[in-house]
Every structure is written in structure tokens, then in C-alpha cells.
């Protein structure tokens, strides 16, 4: 079983930083991000829901991501991340 490199594209990394900075419990955001990286290192095509054309959807609370798999390069690119808001009081509201 070959290990895949997991890369967060710049926009997804910025989204993740924003979620982390607004989190009441930033440790849960870090734990989820680390779990995503670890989960996608092996068999990423089997880990998320296949949306077609190499795009997959995965939730590891409190984060949901979209990612693309490039088997020939053994690479996963996380293209989007969102806070699924599992706890209504778990995150600060965005400020203007």
C-alpha cells in the first residue's frame, strides 16, 4: 500500500486558518485537520464520498472537505474546507 502526499491548496489552507482563528475550541479543529491528513494518506478513493471526476467529499467533525485524488502522482489535494457547525455554541460568530 503506497502512501499519498496530502496537500492543502492555498485557498483551503486560508479557510482552515480562518476556521481555527474563530473556533472556541481550536484544538478540535487542529485534531480534525490532522485526522484528515492521516486518513487520506492511504486509499483516499475509499475514504470519502465520490462526487465524480476525481472529486471526493469527507467529513471529520468539525470539518468537511472537498478533495481531488491524483493516483498517478500519489497525491491528494484538499481544495475546500468548511466548518460543519456541529455545535451551535462551539464557534464564535464571524465579526465584521
Instruction: Give domain status of residue 25, yes or no.
Output: yes
Which grid coordinates are listed for 23? 473556533
Residue 7 bridge partners (DSSP) = 77
Residue 67 bridge partners (DSSP) = 56, 78
Instruction: Give domain status of residue 96, yes or no.
Output: no
Q: What is the pLDDT of residue 66?
A: 98
Per-residue pLDDT tens digits for 1-46 = 689 999 999 999 999 999 999 999 999 999 999 999 999 999 999 9
Supply the CATH number for residue 64's domain: 3.30.2310.20
Instruction: Give domain status of residue 46, yes or no.
Output: yes
pTM (2 decimals)?
Answer: 0.85
Q: What is the pLDDT of residue 91?
A: 43
Opening angle at CA 86, ends 84 and 37, nearest 5? 55
Sign of the dihedral defined by the CA atoms of residues 49, 45, 47, 23, in that order: negative
Counting the structural domains of the chain, the total is 1
Instruction: Give domain status of residue 28, yes or no.
Output: yes
Containing structural domain, residue 40: 5-83
How crowded is the C-beta side of 50, counted as CA atoms within 13 Å?
A: 8
Question: Does 85 score more than 80 pLDDT?
Answer: no
Amino acid at each position: 500500500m503506497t502512501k499519498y502526499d496530502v496537500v492543502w491548496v492555498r485557498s483551503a489552507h486560508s479557510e482552515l486558518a480562518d476556521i481555527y482563528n474563530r473556533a472556541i475550541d481550536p484544538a478540535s479543529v487542529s485534531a480534525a485537520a490532522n485526522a484528515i491528513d492521516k486518513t487520506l494518506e492511504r486509499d483516499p478513493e475509499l475514504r470519502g464520498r465520490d462526487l465524480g471526476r476525481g472529486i471526493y467529499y469527507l467529513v471529520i467533525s468539525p470539518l468537511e472537505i472537498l478533495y481531488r485524488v491524483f493516483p498517478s502522482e500519489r497525491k491528494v489535494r484538499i481544495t475546500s474546507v468548511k466548518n460543519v457547525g456541529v455545535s451551535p455554541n462551539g464557534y464564535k460568530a464571524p465579526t465584521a
